[in-house]
Each structure stands twice: as structure tokens, then as C-alpha cells.
Amino acid sequence: MSSMETYQHSDPMTGAVLDGRYRVDTLIATGGMSGVYRGLDLRLDRPVALKIMDSRYAGDEHFLTRFQREARAVARLKDPGLVAVYDQGGGDTRGCPAFLVMELVEGGTLRELLRERGPMPPHAVAAVLRPVLGGLAVAHRAGLVHRDIKPENVLISDDGEVKIADFGLVRAVAEAKITSTSVILGTAAYLSPEQVGTGDTDSRGDVYSIGILVYELLTGTTPFAGDTTLAVAYQRMDHDVTPPSSVIGGVPRQFDELVACATSRDPAARFADAAEMLEELDTVARELALPPFRVPAPRTSALHTSAMVPTPPPSLATENVDRPPNATPASRHTKAFQRDQLPAPEPEDEDEYQPLTGQFAGIELAEFYWARQRAKRMLLFWVVAVITLAGLAAAGAWTLGTNLPNLL
């Protein structure tokens, strides 16, 4: 038996049937607030994704009320760029944790694609952004804000569909009794300044996070760094996001301007919502004549791995379901951290942003990634050449001047 099978079989959630209908099969991923599992709707014989909340939220009326309200609101949204929500339940006195039943997107996450292929050329970035912004625009028109946009929450199907997931969970957690007013909720690298400062946000906060996402897709890294999670979050309070073209060559001016507008520290200077940013993206794509592109799913993903694990037999009744275990976390989880505390720094994956050899959309990744470095080397070459020629000319003039009396 493999280590993956051993781990899956030791998971107390595996094999459970939630609400007498949804069988929990294999763990896909865990985060700071929940675990996501591959599951099966036994009534409809339909594969589903089950997001099972941490048991610390069980019995919290504030959280459960908000959780149910947000689930209903998201379930009403219809757009190809949104992961569909089918059902919600749990959180009752029987010990069943709160859970969401969602569309199972067979493929992987944008984070996994970035790890495999590194930074993207502009037309690939546009292909990712269009469905994400389209889905967000539908949510923004309905008065919903995502609050936790990041590559882990963008899913790519094996058919090339791009969808955004996890609407409303951060807001529900923010209203839980276990959450104090001094807690910052979200993922530090993608938070807007107002989320860090006051915790308040609207559609323009999502726009800021999208701007950070665009920067990362183009460059392979996020714009702010720090020794701690909190330090990373506070960087955006006093510093603007630098143009992506200052990090990597080949980024068009229009994308620099798109990122600058989306990530303005003043919310009023940003795009008002996802729909407005999508209009500007379409304008940029026309100006640059960006070709259409089918976004590839990552070759190796947690979801693909979970599909290879044998489905265990049902073993637990709903009443006996307990919290999912703390499995190995992904690189960037949604976190709750105190504004007046400095948590320990998160370990960074050294290979997370390194591009692989090969091509992305017909462009050599190494060439794209190192374009700026080559430009620097060429500039240095010409500077040295000019200095050398100037030196030779000066030496020749000095020699001629010295020997001129003898020549005359």
C-alpha cells in the first residue's frame, strides 16, 4: 500500500456519508479553514467536490448563519467562470461539520500550473483573466465580494475551462465568534490595503487582488516580500506595486498600466469592479492583437492524484463525522492573523516560481523568463564598448598631441 493510500485510509472523514447523501472519498487539499474532498452524490450518482469546514466552527451560530446565507447567494450565480455550488449542510448538534457541495472541476489549480510552467506570456495571461473577471463581474453585480482571490482558488479543467471558487467563506469566518476584530483574514500576498488596514472591502478589493494575480502570472512572483506574513501584508500600505516590466522583459506597456490601475493604493483610482477591468483587458487584447489561447490544466495536480486513490468503503455515520485532519498545507493558505502579532515566516518552496524548460503557448519559457537578464547583459556590453572606444580615442589624441612637435 502506498503512502498516499495509507494517509487517505487514516483520514477520519474518508468513507463518511454526509446528510445521508454525500459520500466522502479522497482528500484533495486542505487550507486554514477547511478540507476539500472528492466525493459522490449518492442520490444522483454524480461526482462532486466537498468542502468540509473545520470543526471549530461547529455550533457557532454567527458562522453558520453567514455560511448558509453566503452559500445560498453563491448558488444563485450562473456563469461559466464560477464553480457551481449545489448544496450546503451540516454544522448541527449531531457533530456533522458544516460543508459545501460544489461542482467537481477535473483538472488542477492555477498555482499548480504556475509551478509547472513558470511565468506566462501576455496572451496566456489574458486567457486566464477573461473567465475569472467574467465570473467575478456576475458576483459583483449581485453584491458579492470574493475577498480571497489567489492562484489556489482559480481552477483549470482538463477541457481548458477556467473557474474561480470559494466565494463567501472568508466573510462567513469573519463573523464567527472565534474571530476577533483585530484579526486580518485572507492570504497576505493578495490582500488589498484596506483589507489589511480596516478589514473592510468591496469589489475594488477584489480588483486589487486580481492586479496582484496578473503581476504574478507575468513575472512568476508576487510584488511584496517580508520576513513575516504580517510584514508582507503591511508592505502594500506604504508601497506601490512596481511595473511587471521592471522584473521581466517582454511585458507590454498596456499590461503595466492594467496592473497599476488595479493595484492603486487609493480604491477610488482602481477599476470600479471586475466588469470594468474586463472591458480594459479586452481593449488591451485588441491593441496588442493577442491570439486566442486554450489554458492547459496542470499535468500533475492534487485532484488528479486523488482520482488514483481507491474509493474506501463507507465506514462512518454522519453523526460520527469529526474535523478533517491537518494535512500538508499548500504554499499559500487563507489565514487569520493578528494585526498586533508577528507570526513566524512561512517556508518558501524554492522551486515554486522557477520556469521549466519547454514552451508555453509556443514561446520558450527560458527565453521569456530571462529576456530582461539578456537585455541587461547587452546594455553592459555596449557600455563597455563605448568606454573602450572612448579610451582608445583619448589615448590616440594624447599620443598625437605629444608627438606633434616632432612631426612638424
Active site residues: 148
Q: Please state, in angstroms and rounded to a whole number, the distance separating the CA atoms of residues 200 and 184.
A: 10
Strand partners for 88: 100
Residue 32 and residue 326 in contact, taking contact as beta carbons nearer than 8 Å: no
Whole-angstrom distance, CA of residue 203 vs CA of residue 182: 22
- Cα angle 125, 73, 205 (rounded to 5 degrees) comes to 45
CB-CB contact of 15 with 315 (8 Å): yes
The answer to whether residues 145 and 171 touch, using CB atoms and an 8 Å cutoff, is yes
Residues 6+ apart with CB under 8 A from 391: none
How many residues make up the chain in this entry? 408
Dihedrals phi, psi of 339, to nearest 5 degrees? -65, -25
